[in-house]
């Protein structure tokens, strides 16, 4: 991040963005018969967690488009790679949602999303180091947030087994 205030704000927002992951993961541990009104809480929490992870994956992909648009001196090859990679996380998140729609067990979707988050972080490291575009502290923050989101999904995965 270019300055301390921006990094502090990004960290704060990142931590706040972890709250839905953690809250929904904990809700998956409620007894199967727990309800909120007429709705069963556990399946709703599972769906909401998969949906939130899918949204976050889309956000992470869009970061690459932002870097390309802000770095006009980027090589054409790296520009194409970054733009192409930028849509992959959205597609992975969408596939996780589709899994639930067609009846795949939530545990499989959680495992798939953990793998997706780790893949996206690895690709971010590879592409962003080559482009020299990431701000100071960005990849470190991404690593921490990826670990937190993956841990929350692992907690939900354990509850669903």
Count each helix (H run) and each strand (E run) in the chain, helices first.
5, 2
CA distance linking residue 1 with residue 55, whole number of Å: 23
* Residue-range definition of the domain harbouring residue 97: 4-160
Structurally, how many domains does the chain consist of? 1
Least confident of 25-39, 120-134, 143-157: 120-134
What does the mean pLDDT of the chain come to? Answer: 92
CA distance linking residue 161 with residue 54, whole number of Å: 21
pLDDT of 144 reads: 96
Is the pLDDT score of 146 beyond 70? Answer: yes
Per-residue pLDDT band for 1 (boundaries 50, 70, 90) equals very low
Residues near 28 by Cβ (< 8 Å), separated by ≥ 6? 42, 45, 46, 49, 155, 156, 159, 160
Question: Residue 2 in 3-state DSSP?
Answer: coil
How far is Cα of residue 25 from the mean position of the Cα atoms in its chain?
14
Is the pLDDT score of 133 beyond 70? Answer: no
CA distance linking residue 51 with residue 82, whole number of Å: 24
pLDDT of 3 reads: 74
Answering whether pTM is above 0.75, one says yes
Give the length of the chain: 161
Question: What is the 8-class DSSP label of residue 134?
Answer: S
Q: Which residue's entry shows tokens 């087994």? A: 161
Helices 76-101 and 106-131: crossing angle in degrees, nearest 10, is: 170
CA dihedral 89, 94, 95, 96 (to 10 degrees): 90
Give pLDDT tens digits for 80-100. Answer: 999 999 999 999 999 999 999
Q: Which residue's entry shows tokens 């841990």? A: 151
Give pLDDT tens digits for 16-62. Answer: 999 999 999 999 999 989 999 999 999 999 999 999 999 999 999 99
pLDDT of 130 reads: 76
What is the C-alpha radius of gyration for the chain, rounded to an integer number of angstroms? 17
């Amino acid at each position: 991040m270019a300055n301390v205030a921006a990094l502090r704000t990004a960290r704060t927002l990142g931590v706040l963005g972890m709250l839905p992951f953690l809250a929904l993961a904990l809700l998956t541990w409620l007894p199967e018969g727990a309800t909120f009104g007429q709705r069963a809480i556990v399946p709703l929490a599972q769906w909401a967690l998969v949906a939130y992870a899918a949204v976050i994956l889309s956000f992470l992909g869009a970061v690459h488009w932002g870097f390309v648009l802000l770095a006009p001196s980027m090589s054409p090859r790296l520009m194409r790679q970054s733009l192409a990679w930028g849509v992959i996380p959205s597609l992975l998140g969408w596939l996780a949602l589709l899994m639930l729609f067609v009846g795949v067990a939530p545990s499989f979707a959680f495992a798939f999303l953990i793998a997706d988050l780790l893949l996206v972080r690895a690709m971010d490291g590879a592409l962003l180091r080559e482009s020299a575009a990431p701000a100071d502290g960005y990849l470190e923050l991404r690593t921490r947030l990826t670990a937190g989101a993956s841990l929350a999904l692992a907690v939900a995965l354990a509850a669903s087994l």
